[in-house]
Amino acid sequence: MAKIYATCRVFADEIARLRGAGHDVQMRGQEGPISRDELIRSISDADAMICLLSDKIDAKVIATGPRLRIIANLGVGYDNIDVPAAHAAGIIVTNTPGALTETTADLTFALLLAAARRILEADEYVRSGKFLGWELLQKHLGLDVFGKTLGIVGMGRIGTAVARRGHFGFGMKGLYHNRHRNIDAERELGARYVTFEELLEESDFVCVHTPLTEETHHLFNKDSFRKMKKSAILVNVARGPVVDEVALVWALETGEIAGAGIDVYEREPQVHPGLLKLKERVVLAPHIGSASVETRRKMAKIAVDNVLSVLSGGEPLNPVT
């Protein structure tokens, strides 16, 4: 019987599958990030771990789990795990690619539309009884989305799904910047490959879908915001540290850009107090890119499938290489 530790609550039917295979499953029941001490204590005799983005699994943590055979991350990104250290210790790391592509693209558009059309401010206005009737110069004049230029930074699976929504749903002109050209997206969506600077200068909406790496850390800083249109809106559903949050607050406060839709934060779950104060064309979400019932179920299933496969001596289905 193997011991499996999950750092967060997991759907009961998935836990039942693990137990049904004869494994002992311990699951952390509390909300909020696990402390380093608790994490180290909990994996000391575990054969498998199911974890999430807020669990910082560095080389020292890995060394405290001598029996670990698999770390199954609930997410497509795995920048929370020191993958080379895990591999060096003979531990397999898996993720959940594909499962959350469309759901995250939906959220990207939800934030884009909400910021552009000032939906949250309008909602608050109605609820507080201030709505006195239609006016030409209504208080919540927003920005058009249809027909505008959509700039995608990181044209992988999610970036392409966002570009598809922009192209087919909103008649948008698509620009993208990526490490490599995405010829399929160019053919299917007419998206144009441009330099990062060109993308900043020409886009009305800039959507961030790049992974967090040394190169993308603070890719959006004061210089980048200065290059964007003053009417532009930034949407980040990728990783908080890709955007320098101090610079973002500065850009919004000084009118360097017009608005933002933000789902991820530099020091998650902390949010820069300056961002919390800004309400005009600024929409904040608590890292819910993949948060639909269907998708979270799919992600849990993938993680459990990987654990079951590895613990029974099989290959991982979604190895991070």
Catalytic residues: 239, 268, 287
Could you tell me how many residues of this chain bind ligand DGY (CB under 6 A)? 7
Site string for ligand DGY, 98-117 (x = CB under 6 A): --x-----------------
Q: Nearest approach, Cβ of 163 to ligand DGY (angstroms)?
A: 19
Give all strands of the β-sheet with 24-27 in edge-to-edge order: 24-27, 3-6, 48-51, 70-73, 92-94
Q: How far is the CB of 111 from ligand DGY (least distance, A)?
A: 14
Q: Which residues in the 247-306 window bind ligand DGY by CB under 6 A?
A: 289-290
Closest to ligand DGY by CB, 21 or 52: 52
- Provide the H-helix boundaries in the chain: 12-20, 36-43, 59-63, 83-88, 101-116, 119-127, 157-164, 170, 183-189, 196-202, 222-227, 245-254, 273-277, 293-311
| Nearer of residues 87 and 157 to ligand DGY, judged by Cβ | 157
Token pair in block for residue 172:
């948008």
Name which of 238 and 257 has its Cβ closer to ligand DGY.
238
Which positions from 61 through 100 interact with ligand DGY, judged by CB under 6 A? 75-77, 100
Question: Which C-beta is closer to ligand DGY: that of 4 or that of 303?
Answer: 303
Exposure of 87 by Cβ count < 10 A (0-12 exposed, 13-18 middle, 19+ buried)?
middle
The correct pick among 8, 53, 150, 175 for binding ligand DGY (CB under 6 A) is 53
Q: Judging by beta carbons within 10 Å of its beta carbon (0-12, 13-18, 19+), is residue 205 exposed, middle or buried?
A: buried
Q: How far apart are the first and last CA of the chain?
A: 27
DSSP class of 72: E
Min dist. Cβ of residue 37 to ligand DGY (A): 23
Which DSSP helix (H) or strand (E) runs through 71?
strand 70-73
- Which DSSP string do the residues of 231-243 spell out, in sequence order? T-EEEE-S-GGGB
With CB atoms as reference, the residue minimizing the distance to ligand DGY is 75
In whole angstroms, the minimum distance from the beta carbon of 241 to ligand DGY comes to 13
* Residue number, 142 or 289, with CB nearest to ligand DGY: 289
User: CB neighbours (10 Å) of residue 9?
Assistant: 13
Name the residue type at position 98.
G
Residue closer to ligand DGY (CB basis): 65 or 289: 289
* Nearest to 56, CA basis, from 23, 82, 75: 82
Take residue 251 and report the two structure tokens written for it: 């850009």
Nearest approach, Cβ of 157 to ligand DGY (angstroms)? 11
Give the footprint of ligand DGY on this chain (CB under 6 A). Answer: 53, 75-77, 100, 289-290
